[in-house]
């Protein structure tokens, strides 16, 4: 029985990884900071953040609202970095197709939940790679 090459899956995964890594680099250089602050300062988010639960949290921790926004931005940056590292792990572990397919599917769902304009090709490519890993036998 002939072993199939995973060249197509690897190519699609690396295209998505390069896009994701470039987003991580841009986030850590401060390229998206203004946009993220703009999102957190919209009236809808401000109204949501001043609900009773968040207001009580701010009261007891004595954190200022702007500091809370900075914490949100740090959490977003860390989650994108963690996503990129998990994607690299899944790409390098492509010999184990089921394990790698599950990780790619998890990443596609996770990135789709966050979904920004930049993330659309990334999660679509990860979803395609996951499906291809499940369908094409080794």
Q: What is the pLDDT of residue 105?
A: 92
Q: Is residue 38 one of the residues assigned to a domain?
A: yes
The whole domain housing 49 covers: 14-135
Residues 6 or more apart in contact with residue 128 via CB below 8 angstroms: 12
Q: Is residue 5 one of the residues assigned to a domain?
A: no
Euclidean distance between CA atoms 43 and 48, whole angstroms: 8
Do 118 and 51 form a contact (C-beta atoms < 8 A)? Answer: no
Coil, helix or strand at residue 27: helix
- In this prediction the pTM is 0.76
Q: Is residue 3 one of the residues assigned to a domain?
A: no
Domain count for the chain, please give it.
1
Q: What is the pLDDT along the chain (138 residues), one digit of tens a residue?
A: 455 678 888 999 999 999 989 888 888 887 777 777 777 777 777 676 666 666 777 677 777 777 877 888 888 888 888 989 999 999 998 888 899 999 999 998 888 877 667 788 888 999 999 999 899 876
């Amino acid at each position: 029985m002939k072993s199939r090459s995973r060249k197509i899956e690897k190519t699609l995964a690396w295209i998505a990884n390069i896009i994701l890594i470039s987003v991580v680099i841009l986030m850590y250089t401060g390229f998206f900071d203004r946009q993220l602050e703009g999102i957190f300062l919209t009236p809808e988010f401000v109204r949501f953040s001043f609900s009773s639960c968040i207001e009580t949290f701010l009261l007891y921790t004595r954190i200022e609202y702007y500091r809370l926004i900075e914490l949100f931005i740090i959490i977003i940056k860390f989650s994108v970095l963690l996503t990129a590292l998990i994607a690299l792990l899944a790409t390098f572990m492509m010999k184990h197709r089921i394990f790698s397919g599950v990780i790619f599917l998890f990443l596609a769902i996770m990135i789709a939940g966050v979904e920004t304009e930049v993330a659309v090709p990334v999660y679509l490519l990860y979803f395609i790679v996951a499906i291809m890993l499940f369908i094409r036998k080794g």
